[in-house]
């Protein structure tokens, strides 16, 4: 599993998109190569955009859980006689999610902004295509609008992450 997540974190999305189209469209003929219409059209772009993020979150969660499992309160919970499942889910995973949630806010914004190249590869007319076309045409109004939209999206994502901290870690309180 770690080998797959390492490969997913190192292969860029446009390379993965090209390999996906070569294997599943050209060789196997299972998915269409471009456009949006049926659920099969969305399969490639969703997998290609989400591969890096999923792999990175998997590695980050694993590392964080392994770090938390070495803490004193985990040994105390085990010494109290709690089952291993309760120790991992209630005590370890809850505290291990803090770095993961910290990464999720910018990651969500990055998924949307990182879709520019994947939209080009799969021939999808989306906000990424609009942005790259407006750069080519020097349409400054659209460039500024999309840039402000992404900036606001990052700010809102970071705000939601800060709000989620209260639910994950009871030591954090907002007045």
Q: Is the pLDDT of residue 175 over 80?
A: no
pLDDT in tens, 41-67: 778 888 888 888 888 888 888 889 889
Structure tokens given for 88 = 């991992």
CA distances in angstroms from 93 to 23, 33, 133, listed in the order given: 37, 40, 44
Q: How far apart are CA 116 and CA 128, in angstroms?
A: 4
Task: Report in angstroms the alpha-carbon separations of 21 from 26, 56, 127.
Answer: 7, 23, 21
What confidence tens digit (pLDDT) does each residue in 116-155 have?
778 888 888 888 878 888 989 999 999 999 889 888 888 8
Rounded Cα–Cα distance for residues 106 and 81 (Å): 39
Provide φ and ψ at 148, rounded to 5°.
-65, -40
- Position 20 confidence tier, pLDDT thresholds 50, 70, 90: confident
Kindly state the tokens that stand for 37.
Answer: 């219409």
pTM score of the predicted model: 0.72
- Which of the pair, 22 or 117, is modelled with greater confidence? 22
Average pLDDT for the chain: 84
Is residue 114 pLDDT above 70, yes or no? no
Q: Report d(CA 28, CA 20) in Å as an integer.
A: 10
């Amino acid at each position: 599993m770690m080998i797959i997540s390492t490969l997913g974190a190192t292969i860029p999305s446009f390379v993965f998109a090209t390999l996906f189209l070569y294997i599943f469209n050209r060789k196997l003929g299972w998915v269409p190569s471009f456009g949006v219409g049926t659920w099969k059209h969305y399969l490639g772009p969703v997998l290609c955009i989400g591969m890096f993020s999923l792999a990175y979150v998997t590695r980050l969660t694993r590392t964080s859980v392994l770090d938390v499992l070495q803490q004193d309160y985990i040994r105390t919970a085990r010494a109290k006689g709690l089952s291993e499942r309760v120790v991992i889910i209630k005590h370890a995973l809850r505290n291990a999610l803090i770095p993961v949630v910290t990464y999720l806010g910018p990651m969500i914004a990055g998924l949307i902004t990182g879709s520019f190249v994947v939209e080009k590869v799969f021939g999808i007319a989306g906000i990424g295509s609009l942005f790259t076309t407006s750069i080519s045409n020097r349409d400054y109004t659209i460039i500024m609008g999309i840039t402000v939209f992404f900036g606001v999206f990052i700010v809102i994502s970071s705000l939601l992450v800060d709000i989620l901290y209260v639910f994950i870690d009871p030591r954090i309180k907002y007045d």
